[in-house]
Structure 1
Amino acid sequence: MKKITLIFAAGILMLGACSNTSTSEKAGKEVTSSEEDKSNPEMKTGDKEKKPEQDEETKNEELKQPFKALKPSEDAVPLKERMAKEEQQKAPDQEGQDGQSERKTPLGETLANGVEDLSDGPLKDHRLVTYYGTPQSENMGILGTMEPEEFMKKLKEQTQAYSDLDPERPAVPTIELITTMAQNDPGPDGDYVRMTSDENIETYVELAEKHDALVILDIQLGTDTVMNQVKMVEKWLKHPQVHLAIDTEFHVAEGEKPGEDLGQVDGRKIQEAVEYVSELTEKNNLPDKLVLVHQFTGHVLTHKDAIKPTENVQVAINFDGWGPAADKLALYRKYIRDEPNQYGGFKIFYDKDVPVLTPEEVLKMDPSPAIVNYQ
């Protein structure tokens, strides 16, 4: 696989902490549904199954998304408004030089060009701003460097910047918690994965509930299967505010080690998880869910076109990796804009990116990321 300047995935630091293998020896990261109810004439194709015994008001209340987006500040100037003024002030020979004429989606639009969202999931009218990590390591992301309340305060500050810039799509503070961590040691189950404790998960689920935020449980696979790990966190996915993320690069074959060997996930296996979460959501009468898929290069995600959203599960492909901003932007266009799925995400490393992109620069991306995660 061709490699360029970006270093390996975020989780590599944890892998190094769990073994004697130095992270400097690791590979570099590349960066350059239900059928129509024919018995009910009022039911249209694509509608979710209605429960006759349940009145509509009660159902709507139960399915309401359990978060509160951060309202824009009173003195906030939306990015669209600012850019419109700048456009008016441009000299004729400057028009088109900012690259906006090359956009495939309008500024601020998060849905991929030509793609629909039939769900009522959290990304439909909002943007998620996530802080990534695990309380078990300071090296795996910002989550592990702070106590929960301090962490939430910092997360809300970062989230507020996006609500101020794009009031039409207010941002929601979101915790991205590494739930199963890949490691160099095979461990007692021989799958090169260590599960975080129920206590850790409960701490951050309760933190999200307290602050009207969301939680995304991130699974790193080792030699385990996607579906086995989804079922390991199933009881948490039954919480209204809990969603799922899949880290593709840590899924290795027998005889390989995460962090030493670059992993790969078949999109058809991810689709099994999407459909499983969709069924889980419907059976438990939950608000619509999100499945986030991390990708930093083409190798780690095969059969990508097999991954499809459902009527109650949104899908986002998250461009992951650190390094020069120009390279990251180019690969975001390659893997997100030019290989459209439904929504796109973008990861930012506070201490690794050069330079660290500002929220304004992030929102100008095409399409604008529906999820912005910080590590």
Structure 2
Amino acid sequence: MLVRRAVTVLTVAVLAGCGTDSRTPEKVRPSPSGSAAPASAPASPPAPETPQELPLGGTKIFPAYRVVAYYGTAGNAALGVLGEGSADKMLPKLRAAAKPFAGGRKVQPAYELIASVAQAGPGKDGDYSRMIPMASIQRYVDQAKRHKVLVILDLQPGRGDFLPQARQLERFLVQPHVGLALDPEWRMPPGKVPGRTIGRVGSGEVNRVSDYVAGLVERHHLPEKLFVLHQFRASMLPDIGKIQKRPGLAMVQHVDGFGTRSEKNATWDRLRRPKQFHLGYKLFYDEDVKRYGAADLLKFVDVPELVSFQ
């Protein structure tokens, strides 16, 4: 049985995060909030003359590191553990949670920050998605840089397209410690509303975004950058086999889903594609039943290289 991630409600809008496969998605109240994103992104800084490195050294994420992330958005605990406090408050907890996952690798802590949040209402531009304030993103990116932490900016575009939202974040993506995650659950088909429908995205759109991000890596002499695709149903990435690999990107299929161990195992066994992607796995503090620990995950066939907590 496939399982969804847990649906939670943002105080001004819909939510971020999750859903179930075995239940009808919860309906959510529409929000008057619209998109707060700027019409165009400011120019990115000039490229450095010498190649840059990752926060803990080197230019390749895998297999040198195992990345362990806290997931959520700024100032909203309902959307994930990352929002339960400031970055300074959460970082010691993240480091403690991440340490047991080494398994012979260096552990690289990360923040997976939901940068655009799916909304119950269309907003002024009709896309059912709202970008969090750029100043909030900047605080996480700057704090992460000081403490040698990776940042993964997560997109929930509603009825919009992933690529325009990614372009709005270019000022962050040109930094060597910042990657990108696409969440198809919140990419809506025409006429559908987040929280009432489990979304999907085709390979063509994914490939356009990955091509854009890989171009930034090349032009700015960046180290390998995380490019994460969330999935808990096959229908979310219907033509996943056509998703292209890109130089400069560590492309991760992140298998989500909460529930019992047997339910999570069924999702993992059905979806994972280790010959095509690096693999990620999500652990839920509240929704998982007998949540797997580090020792359990390190015994998996195809041990996850990116582990996140929600």
Which bin holds the TM-score, normalised by the shorter protein? 0.7 to 0.9
Q: 1:243 to 1:346 in 2, by over 3 A?
A: same
Q: Which runs of 4+ in 1 moved over 6 A?
A: none
CA contact (8 A) 2:9 2:15 kept: no
Matched residue, 2:181: 245
Instruction: Report how far residue 316 of structure 1 moved.
Output: 0.6
Distance apart, 1:121 and its partner CA:
2.9
| TM-score (normalizing by structure 1) | 0.71
- In the aligned structure 2, how far is the partner of 1:29 from the partner of 1:152? 32
2: CA distance, partners of 1:291 / 1:14: 26
Query: Runs of 5+ in structure 2 lacking a partner?
Result: 24-48
User: Which moves more between the two structures, 214-223 or 254-263?
Assistant: 254-263
2:285 paired residue number = 350
CA distance in 2: counterparts of 1:196 and 1:188, whole angstroms: 15
Rg larger in structure: 1
Secondary structure of the equivalent of 1:369? coil
1:127 aligns with: 66
Q: Check whether the contact 2:200–2:238 (CA below 8 A) recurs between aligned residues.
A: yes
Tell me the equivalent position of 1:370: 305
Aligned residue type for 1:215: V
**One-letter amino acid of the counterpart of residue 5, structure 2:** A
- Tell me by how many angstroms 1:239 deviates: 0.9
Identify the residue that residue 232 of structure 2 maps to in structure 1: 296
SS at structure 2 position matched to 1:334? helix
Match of 1:14 in 2: 9
The 1-side partners of 2:130 and 2:217 are apart by 26
Q: Secondary structure at the match of 1:14?
A: coil
Tell me how far apart the structure 1 counterparts of residues 307 and 121 of structure 2 sit (CA, whole Å): 31
Other-structure match for 2:141: 205
8 A contact 1:348–1:356 mirrored in 2: yes
Which residue does 1:317 correspond to in 2?
Answer: 253
Distance 1:276 1:368 in 2: 29
Give the aligned partner of residue 219 of structure 2: 283
- Following TM superposition, by how much is the alpha carbon of 1:270 offset from its aligned partner in structure 2, in angstroms? 0.6
Matched, 1:256 2:192: yes
Give the CA deviation at 1:147. Answer: 2.2
Q: For 1:221, what is the secondary structure of its paired residue?
A: coil
Aligned-residue sequence identity (percent) comes to: 30
How far residue 5 of structure 1 moved from its aligned partner, in angstroms, is 7.3
In structure 1, what residue type is equivalent to 2:195?
G
| 1:233 counterpart residue number | 169
Structure 2 CA distance for partners of 1:350 and 1:366, relative to 1, 3 Å: same
Alignment of 1:1-375 (within 5 A): 4=1, 6=3, 8-10=4-6, 12-14=7-9, 17-18=11-12, 28-29=20-21, 59=50, 62-67=51-56, 120-163=59-102, 166-167=103-104, 169-337=105-273, 340-375=275-310
1:260 Cα deviation after fit: 0.5
Residue 276 to residue 27, structure 1, CA distance change in 2 (3 Å): closer
Task: Measure how far apart 1:30 and its partner are.
Answer: 5.2
1:227/1:27 CA distance change after superposition, 3 Å: closer
Post-superposition Cα deviations, 1:261-314, rounded to whole Å, max 9, x if no partner, equal 111111221111111111111111111212000000101112101222222112
Cα distance in 2, alignment partners of residues 5 and 286 from structure 1: 37
The one-letter amino acid of 1:13's match is: T
Equivalent-residue separation in structure 2 for 1:27 and 1:134 (angstroms):
17
1:87-108 C-alpha deviation (Å, 9 max, x unpaired): xxxxxxxxxxxxxxxxxxxxxx
Give the secondary structure class of the aligned counterpart of 2:198: coil
Deviation track 1:213-232 (CA, whole Å, cap 9, x = no partner) reads 10000001100012111112
Distance in 2 of aligned mates of 1:232 and 1:341: 28
Q: CA deviation at 1:9?
A: 2.9
TM-score between both structures, scaled by the size of structure 2: 0.85
For the aligned residue pairs, the C-alpha RMSD in angstroms reads 2.3
Give the CA deviation at 1:22: 11
Could you tell me which runs of 5 or more consecutive residues in structure 1 were left unpaired when the two chains were aligned.
32-57, 70-119
Q: Distance in 1 between matches of 2:251 and 2:15?
A: 34
- Alpha-carbon distance change, 353 to 158 in structure 1, aligned in 2, over 3 angstroms: same
Residues 193-221 of structure 1: CA deviation (Å, up to 9, x unaligned): 01011111111111111111100000011
How far off is 1:336 after superposition?
0.9
- By how many angstroms is 1:67 displaced? 2.8
Distance 1:254 1:282, change over 3 A: same
Aligned partner of residue 222 in structure 1, secondary structure: coil
The question of whether the paired residues in 2 share the 8 Å contact of 1:63 and 1:288 is answered with no
Counterpart code for 1:123: F
